[in-house]
A and B are shown apart, each in its own frame.
Chain A
Amino acid sequence: MSLRVLYFAWLRERIGVPSETVDTGAATVADLVAELRTREERYALAFSDLRSVRVAVDQELTGFDAPLAGAREVAFFPPMTGG
């Protein structure tokens, strides 16, 4: 499956791109993260502490155990600081 993966704030800076297309067979967000981590050092660094990473699947805030079946877009970002 082909997923659009987006990164925001310091995750975007550490990974070096705002978004990319990822071909993956990952069943859950956690699987996708595990796959990205093994790719290159910059991903391992960005995802080294998941307590400070939040995730949205198709623009809905969710958890790392969320399934990816049918998903089109996954976004990773730090805890939000709006207002």
Chain B
Amino acid sequence: MTVRVQRDDFDLGAELAALRAGRTDIGALVSFTGLVRDSAGGDAVSGLELEHYPGMTEQALAKIESEARDRWPLQACLIVHRWGRLLPGEQIMMVATASPHRQAAFEAAEFLMDFLKSRAPFWKREHGPAGAKWVDARNLDEAALARWTKPR
């Protein structure tokens, strides 16, 4: 159960290996990796700047992670999110969830992604031929949260 906010890149394979090292009780390990795309809405993107709120970021991610653990029987959970300047093709962040069966691991990973997109204090700025521009939050991302507030 770990949350990390860092400037440096991460090794997805090594993170997943560490998560299940020495364990034989995990039946499903799901991971998601967010990458920097080279275009956005038809415009070329040459780089991405990620700003965050040190202190609040870690707290917000820990809170989202703890809520996921309350909702699903997770055996392990990892969130790694980078900040700073990134180039197209670079890894931005990852989540990984482990549980005895796949449904909980898939659902929990989606839940973590939906919440950290609009509840963790990160802001993206895209660089392109016309200069730099702060990325607008998408209504779609806010709507994605609604499905988790329905009574289960």
Q: Are A56 and B56 in contact (CB under 8 A)?
A: yes
> Which of B52, B55, B92, B134 interacts with A78 by CB under 8 Å?
B134
Binds B, one of A4-12, A28-36, A40-48: A4-12
For chain B, give the interface size range.
Answer: 20 to 34
Point out the residues of chain B lying under 8 angstroms from A8, CB to CB.
Answer: 51, 53, 121, 123
> Which of B118, B119, B121 interacts with A77 by CB under 8 Å?
B121
Q: How far is the CB of A73 from chain B (nearest CB, A)?
A: 9
With the chains together, A75 CA to B34 CA distance in Å? 27
Main secondary structure of the interface of B (DSSP, over half): mixed
Tell me how many residues of A have a C-beta within 8 Å of chain B.
16
Beta-carbon contacts under 8 Å, A27-67 to B: 56, 59-61
> Which of B34, B55, B93, B119 interacts with A80 by CB under 8 Å?
B119
Point out the residues of chain A lying under 8 angstroms from B121, CB to CB.
Answer: 8, 56, 75, 77, 80, 82
Q: 0/1 per residue, B71-98, Cβ < 8 Å to A?
A: 0000000000100000000001100000
Q: How far is the CB of A60 from chain B (nearest CB, A)?
A: 8
Q: Are B123 and A78 in contact (CB under 8 A)?
A: yes
With the chains together, A56 CA to B60 CA distance in Å? 11
Residues of B within 8 A of A (CB): 34, 51-53, 55-56, 59-60, 81, 92-93, 113, 116-125, 134-137, 142
Would you mind naming 13 contact pairs between A and B with Cβ atoms under 8 Å apart? A9-B125, A59-B53, A59-B59, A60-B56, A61-B60, A75-B56, A78-B137, A79-B142, A80-B118, A80-B120, A80-B121, A80-B137, A81-B136
